Copies of this chain bind each other. A is one copy, B any other.
Amino acid sequence: MTDALFSGLLRLPTGPVDLSAIDTHAKPGFDGNKDDGERALADLGPELADMQEQLFAERTTGSTRRVLLVLQGMDTSGKGGVIRHAIGLVDPQGVRITSFKAPTEEELSHDFLWRIERAVPGPGYVGVFDRSHYEDVLIGRVRDIADEAEIERRYDAINAFEQGLVDDGVIIIKVMLHISADEQRERLLARLDDPTKHWKFNPGDIDERMLWSDYQEAYRIALERTNTPAAPWYVVPSDRKWYRNLAVAQLLREALLGLDLAWPEADFDVEEQRRRLTDETPIDAGTDSGTDKATDRTGPA
């Protein structure tokens, strides 16, 4: 039970959604303060890294299981911070991060899911989407980029797409990083105050901010329409950065725990291989071994 604490607390109930009723400053499931939270996050590192490696190892058995973490949230809500602090705890070799920007000409010439499908992580990986197909029903709606009928079509297309992923072994963790408008203003002002953060600032961010309530409404509808049993939404209160990082790490941990991972068994005779190494002719690194060469390409290990 304890193992599914965060996913239980943060999971968005199905049915009508009221984001304004979810306290952006809360810290469900955690009693401690910032120091406690940062320590708790660091303490998760070894367990997360082990499970991620087990998932990666499982590939070698032909398993298609993988994890896809979808991060959505308003500007400054901390998608990048979560990747750095939570995803940064595991081996980067097993992680595939895709950051979705405004679509290119080529991407626009295809269905909105085309570029998304190409970024789905392969078996064994933890994939992370920094923004996602949800932009196509968020900015798509707020900025009138698509008409109402197309937006409607997209909700259903997203649900069908995600169901297909789940059927194919993908565990989807959809997270909305939920901040208040006041917190966003503070964070934007902090970026302006710090010259090392100016590169992250774009005057267009304030234009988007002026549409705050339109975005909240777009989120409300999107979450309501795509909060499926196969791929539910989690709303993470994110005014506290340390809680946000810890909560997403916990959601990842609980998803990995749910996979009941184990180290794959050897598909070779361990003793036989050990004998090959202990009984071998000494290797002379200085001269050509003269060993017969095989002609089939085995490729790098």
Binding site for B on A (CB under 8 A): 20, 57, 60, 75, 80, 83-84, 87-88, 91-93, 95, 97, 99-103, 130-131, 135, 139, 142-145, 180-181, 185, 188-189, 192, 195-196, 198-214, 216-217, 263-266, 268, 270, 273-274, 276-278, 280, 283-289, 291, 293-301
Contact = CB atoms under 8 A, between A and B. Distances in A.
A82 to B, nearest CB: 10
Contacts of A196: 263
A83 B93 contact: yes
Given A88-B92, A93-B80, A210 B291 contact: yes
A211 B292 CA distance: 9
A84 B53 CA distance: 11
A203 B80 CA distance: 41
How many protomers of this protein does the assembly include?
2
Contacts of A20: 285-286
A212 B102 contact: no
12 contacts: A80-B93, A92-B92, A93-B99, A102-B299, A192-B270, A192-B273, A195-B266, A198-B264, A204-B298, A204-B301, A205-B301, A212-B289
Contacts of A205: 301
Contact of A293 (B87, B144, B189, B192): B144
B277 A188 contact: yes
Contacts of A199: 57, 60, 263-264
A209 to B, nearest CB: 8
Contact of A143 (B143, B207, B284, B293): B293
A213 B288 contact: yes
A140 to B, nearest CB: 9
A301 B101 CA distance: 7
A22 B175 CA distance: 51
Contacts of A295: 143-144
Contacts of A135: 300
A187 to B, nearest CB: 10
A67 to B, nearest CB: 15
A296 B139 CA distance: 11
A18 B113 CA distance: 53
B297 A102 contact: yes
A270 B207 contact: no
A207 B294 contact: yes
Contacts of A203: 268, 273, 276
A114 to B, nearest CB: 16
B131 A265 contact: no
A180 B84 CA distance: 36
Contacts of A270: 192, 198
Nearest to A100: B300
A208 to B, nearest CB: 7
